[in-house]
Amino acid sequence: MLVRCGTESILREWYSIDTNQIEMMDVATWSLKKGITKMVPNFLYERRHNLQGLIMKAVIVKTSIFSSINKDGELDGIFGRILTELCVTLNFSFDVVSQVKAYGRWNSKEKTWSGAIAELYYGRADISLSDFSITNDRLNAVDFTIPLMTSKNILVIREPENLAVQWSSHFLIFTFSVWIAVFGVLIASSIFLALLKIKSGSDNKIGYLLIDNLLEIWGIFCQQGLPNFSPKSSLRIVYFSLCLSIIVFWAAYSAALISFLSSVNHVLPFDSLEGFVADGTYQLAVVHGTAYYDKFANSGDPLAKEVMKLMLEEEKLPRTETEGFKRGLLYLHIEFPTDSKIHLRKNMNAVINLWIMKIFNTTKNSLDMICKNRRLAMYTYDEIRKRVNYKILCKLIRIDAGHVNNFALILSKNNPFTDVINFQLRKFMDKGMMSRLKDISFKRKSNNMIQHQPVSLISQLYNNDNSEINRDLKVGTANKFSVVAMKIENLMPT
């Protein structure tokens, strides 16, 4: 509010960031001669850019690839760096009160929210430090900042192994106009030869001459010789010119054909979301607890209903795009005192390794699922390729799904600081800071070189011993302790 105290000529703005403290700022002078004279910028949030060390309760999504907390306890990723700059500019900080696994979905049956959105919706947090796609359902529950990142939605499938070469490929070497020109030259040459032969005194009818000339030229085109070579120099010049032209044509065609066939041309089963539904041979997966599932499940669009028929069951959906523990085998080695128990040692290690493998194989990775299942497609956003492509063991193909997704930060509904945060984010964009922060986040560090350590004889013998364990594990030498393995497995939570 604007306040003038007593007979003072200064108008002050009173506002409160914290309920226990009132901030005052001189905004204008008021006199009878000059009227009101402004002393501050026109924009409200140009002067209200200091939140006086406010501490916001924050929630973070652990599965987000654009925002995370590193081992030093600092925010990392695109959205993490943006939030760090906001904290410095606006003079506020945050206290992470919870870390959740899912972004959040609306349960229409129970009328409740889940995940990070539930933390904000029910007042347990003020801001989320992760990226959220903007949807109509979420707009009713939380406040969004301006979009910080825009990405196309794509379908990701495993690269097809079979490369089909269609018969039409042999005619795609040249354009249609080039082929028309080639056949036009052949027909014009046959007519020109017929006229030359008539002028040379040939007694054949013009129809027969045209047919003979076409067959002769076609023979030259197929690199065949002429049955009778005319003694006339004019005809010889025409035939020689045709032979030379056709040699040049075949040289160019052969080079272009080899280049065309050697390039990788994948025959994709579909090229759009509509084609995916029409194909019907692929299943669809989305990350569990994200807006992508609600996009199809809660939509009345006929296409969305057809997509849901191909969707995996909700409990089978992957939890993250990437996983902390890569699927594989973690080996635990137990030392036994005597060499007489070497077989016991090998088999016990095999059983324990099976147990550990089951523990660390519980996290589902959507892109790993695609590598293992050729008939599975992943509906995700294009920016994810820059983050996880180097972590995937198979080659993937992206197919444009025809939709655009906007990502932003979220705050609790009707949060008083949403506008000031949006104002600063727009300033970041105008000054190019946003692009700079994105570039820094996407750059892969190349200075983490492997430091090779000296290898001793004892360690080499130890590694050889481990390799024997690995080999025994593959051939199934743990059969003697299958009962023990079953007991361990029964004790484990599923």
**pTM reported for the whole predicted model:** 0.59
Rounded to whole angstroms, what are the CA distances from 11 to 31, 43, 49, 50, 359?
11, 17, 20, 20, 67
The pLDDT of residue 321: 65
Residue % of the chain over a pLDDT of 70: 65
- Looking at residues 326-352, what average pLDDT do you find? 40
pLDDT band with cut points at 50, 70 and 90 for residue 408: very high
> Cα-flanking dihedrals φ and ψ of residue 220, to 5°?
-65, -40
pLDDT band with cut points at 50, 70 and 90 for residue 463: low
Is 448's pLDDT higher than 70? no
433 neighbors 172 (Cβ within 8 angstroms): no
What is the Cα–Cα distance from 26 to 21, expressed in whole angstroms?
17
- Looking at residues 90-110, what average pLDDT do you find? 88
Contact residues for 81 (Cβ-Cβ < 8 A; gap 6+):
75, 437, 440, 441
Rounded to whole angstroms, what are the CA distances from 83 to 33, 35, 71, 402?
47, 42, 18, 30
pLDDT higher for 354 or 394?
Answer: 394
pLDDT band with cut points at 50, 70 and 90 for residue 341: very low
The pLDDT of residue 122: 93
Sheet with strand 10-15: strands edge to edge: 2-3, 10-15, 23-31, 35-38
Q: Highest-confidence range of 120-134, 190-204, 312-326, by mean pLDDT?
A: 120-134
Is 188's pLDDT higher than 80? yes
Please state, rounded to an integer, the average pLDDT across all residues of the chain.
Answer: 74
pLDDT band with cut points at 50, 70 and 90 for residue 41: low
The pLDDT of residue 23: 66
Element (H, E) at 239: helix 233-262
pLDDT band with cut points at 50, 70 and 90 for residue 484: very low
pLDDT band with cut points at 50, 70 and 90 for residue 441: low
- Looking at residues 58-81, what average pLDDT do you find? 84
Radius of gyration of the chain (CA): 37
What is the Cα–Cα distance from 478 to 240, expressed in whole angstroms?
79
- Looking at residues 442-465, what average pLDDT do you find? 49
The pLDDT of residue 340: 41
pLDDT band with cut points at 50, 70 and 90 for residue 120: very high
The pLDDT of residue 257: 84
pLDDT higher for 356 or 197?
Answer: 197
Rounded to whole angstroms, what are the CA distances from 63 to 79, 381, 479?
13, 15, 38
Lowest-pLDDT range, 242-256, 298-312, 467-481? Answer: 467-481
pLDDT higher for 6 or 51?
Answer: 51
Is 344's pLDDT higher than 70? no
What is the Cα–Cα distance from 286 to 312, expressed in whole angstroms?
8
The pLDDT of residue 392: 62
The rounded Cα 374 to chain-centroid distance in angstroms is 18
The pLDDT of residue 143: 95
Q: Which two tokens stand for residue 135?
A: 């949807």
pLDDT band with cut points at 50, 70 and 90 for residue 146: very high
217 neighbors 242 (Cβ within 8 angstroms): yes
- Residue 206, classed as helix, strand or coil, is helix
Long-range pairs of 314-317 with CB within 8 A, sequence gap ≥ 24? 314/288, 317/285, 317/286, 317/287, 317/288, 317/293, 317/364
Is 62's pLDDT higher than 90? no
Q: Which regions of 167-212 does DSSP assign to beta strands (E)?
A: none
pLDDT higher for 59 or 357?
Answer: 59
pLDDT band with cut points at 50, 70 and 90 for residue 126: very high
Angle between helices 78-90 and 433-442 (to 10 degrees): 140
